[in-house]
Amino acid sequence: MNYAVVLAPKFALQALRRSDAALANKPFAIVEGEGCNAHIAAASEHAVGIETGLAVTLAMARCPGLVIRPRDPDAEGEVTRMLLAAAFTLAPRVELTADGCCTVNLQGADDAQTEAQMHACVAELARGGVGARIGAGATPLLAAYAARRADSVLVVHDARAFLSPLPIHFAEPTPVQQEVLRGWGVKTLGELTALPKTEIGQRLGTDGVQLWERAAGESQRVLHLIEPVRTFAAEWTYEPPVESMEPLLFRMRRFAERVALELRGAGRVAEKLALTLLLEDESDHHREFRLPEPGANVDGWMRVLQAHLDTVKTDERVTGVRLVATPARPPERQDGLFDTALRDPVAFWENLARLAAIVGDDRVGTPVLLDTWRPDAVALEKPAEAVSAPEDDLVHPPRGLTLRRFRPPWPARVGLVDARPTSVESDELHDNVRVARGPFHLSGTWWKSGGAWAVEIWHVELGSGATYQLTRTETGWSVEGVLD
């Protein structure tokens, strides 16, 4: 097989249904023309008794509850981008042949691998709300016939056997040609190609020769290739504006599916998502999400986005949404023999992203001490997927109780005798000092202009028996924590 065609039948209807949750399982139809010329251009499978060309008034009388809609160019554009993204997962040479139809040049690709990829492609599109079929064959035309004939994926290996039973309308004869062929008793492509091509040419002219070639699936042409997308973003508007989460999430998922498919088609994953809610008063709410594990899994993205949206309250209604994915290369790694790996990496990274959406990106991760003696100098890093083997026990193990910090520290008034603390008073604490150890002095970056810091630390055992850590800086005393 040299070519494949990705086809979304009933393209305009599918696009409408995909963009509007209210149309699911309802009879609806697309209308064309205006006023008394308005007629049905296409009808969903639930619209029983509605035929193409029927006057709108008649259609509504025939099918009570019929929803009438015009074509939606934005929704169709999204489905087209979905199809193109899916086509780019098969091969890099893709043509947008018509609405809901892409042709892919597969020359040089491995047949078995490509066929498996086609099945994956159809499944992927179905998950994204697009019912598609893929046909493959030696010529673009044969692939197009196969796509029209396929239930899911159809690869034509024997062109003659495949074409013979197909009805003559597959070759798109003109009404005049159709009349002549009917007179000859020719109903299938096989019956037409059984007639000599030159004889057809003598009787039907050059148009007849072209018809014969189309019936034989021989028609070759050069594909008009398009460039794959370089930006991975979606933006859509709500008319009327929305107030609740459901319509927001429904369309967000649809757009995320397309963006994820485009990323996968380009061999990329997302390392960061940026979400902007456009509000009715022309302000916006913007938030960026660093994905702990770069990926193109829509469920994972949606969990992160939904976890954040659950916490968002806006005074104004949402008029539009913008979603931008920052592409990155898929991560590659080689684990060590004694490393501790994850049981379920997908759940691990997704859950971290959800946690980050709730508490903030900078408040979840593995703590790393910064290269300074300054108290509480710590950063949070992305946890390691594989944790290295533990080091040997320390030669000098930690001694004494462990500090538990009060963040922020409690401002305090400290009574001193001979420069040693004797009492502590703060909003939370009021006690005499029984034993005091200190002072322990720390300072740093005194060599930088305006960056110098210095702190004096005391450990004091109070009358209650508990030991607290006091600090004195240039701003005064504070209770920094308890040794617990």
Partner 1 sequence: MSSSPKTVADLRQLLAARFPQRSRAPVGAVPTEIRALDEALGGGLPSGRFTEIVSASPGTGGQTIIAQLLRATRRARQRIALIDGADGFAPEAVPVDHLRHLVWVRGRHVSDAFTAADILLRDGNYAVVVLDVRGLSERALLKTPTTTWHRLRHATESGAVAVLVLSTSAVVPAVPWRLVLRETVPLESRRIPRAAIADDLVIEIDRGHVEREERSA
**Residue ranges binding partner 1 (CB under 8 A):** 340, 342-344, 347-348, 351-352, 354-355, 358-359, 363-369, 375-378, 380, 383-384, 387-391, 394, 397-407, 435, 437, 459-461, 464-468, 481-484
**Residue of 134, 9, 24 lying closest to 79 (CA atoms):** 9
* DSSP secondary structure letter of residue 434: E
> Which tokens go with 357?
């959406």
The distance of closest approach from Cβ of residue 439 to partner 1 in the complex, given in angstroms and rounded to an integer, is: 15
Say if residue 408 is preceded by a cis peptide, omega within 30 of 0.
yes
Indicate the burial class of 157 (C-beta count within 10 angstroms; 0-12, 13-18, 19 or more): exposed
- For 79-107, the DSSP string reads HHHHHHHHHHTT-S-EEEEETTEEEEE-T
Separation of alpha carbons 18 and 79, rounded Å: 8
The distance of closest approach from Cβ of residue 294 to partner 1 in the complex, given in angstroms and rounded to an integer, is: 18
Q: Which is nearer to partner 1, 133 or 354 (CB)?
A: 354
Q: Which is nearer to partner 1, 230 or 343 (CB)?
A: 343
* DSSP secondary structure letter of residue 46: T
Strands (E), 192-317: 233-242, 269-279, 284-295
Q: Which is nearer to partner 1, 268 or 459 (CB)?
A: 459
The distance of closest approach from Cβ of residue 5 to partner 1 in the complex, given in angstroms and rounded to an integer, is: 43
The distance of closest approach from Cβ of residue 343 to partner 1 in the complex, given in angstroms and rounded to an integer, is: 5
Give strand pairing partners of 324.
Answer: 233, 274
To 5 degrees, how large is the angle CA 149–CA 31–CA 63? 85
Q: Which is nearer to partner 1, 224 or 434 (CB)?
A: 434
The distance of closest approach from Cβ of residue 471 to partner 1 in the complex, given in angstroms and rounded to an integer, is: 13
Separation of alpha carbons 431 and 479, rounded Å: 12
The distance of closest approach from Cβ of residue 406 to partner 1 in the complex, given in angstroms and rounded to an integer, is: 7
Q: Which is nearer to partner 1, 229 or 358 (CB)?
A: 358
Q: Are 132 and 86 in contact (CB under 8 A)?
A: yes
DSSP strand pairing (67-69 vs 94-98): unpaired
Q: Which is nearer to partner 1, 283 or 366 (CB)?
A: 366
Q: Which is nearer to partner 1, 13 or 357 (CB)?
A: 357
Structural Rg of the chain based on CA atoms: 34
* Beta carbons within 8 Å of 48's beta carbon, 6+ residues apart: 27, 63
Separation of alpha carbons 140 and 58, rounded Å: 40
The distance of closest approach from Cβ of residue 394 to partner 1 in the complex, given in angstroms and rounded to an integer, is: 6
Q: Which is nearer to partner 1, 327 or 375 (CB)?
A: 375
The distance of closest approach from Cβ of residue 370 to partner 1 in the complex, given in angstroms and rounded to an integer, is: 9
